[in-house]
Amino acid sequence: MQPNSDDLIKLARMPMPFGRYKGTPLISLPENYVIWFYNQGLPQGELGRLMHQLYEIKLNGLEYLITNLANETH
């Protein structure tokens, strides 16, 4: 699963819609939380798809690319 540019922007800007980190941009979620969420089972729909991409990005240490993108799009 490869993210497109729209997904990368969503990862940079979309807030977590619920839970402990409600309101936190997805890219800013702590890695351990993303891993826990992945192991528990991701939600259906767009959030689940984005969380799966986020998991892969964080697992490979690439979140700085999204953070830079977020800073460039403001």
For residue 7, pLDDT beyond 70: yes
Helix 63-72 vs helix 45-59: crossing angle, to nearest 10:
120
Q: How confident is the model at residue 56 (pLDDT cuts 50, 70, 90)?
A: very high
In angstroms, the CA 16 to CA 1 distance is 21
DSSP label at residue 27 = G
What pTM was computed for the model?
Answer: 0.84
pLDDT on residue 10: 93
In angstroms, the CA 72 to CA 24 distance is 18
**Residues 6-29, mean pLDDT to the nearest whole number:** 94
Domain ranges across the chain: 5-72
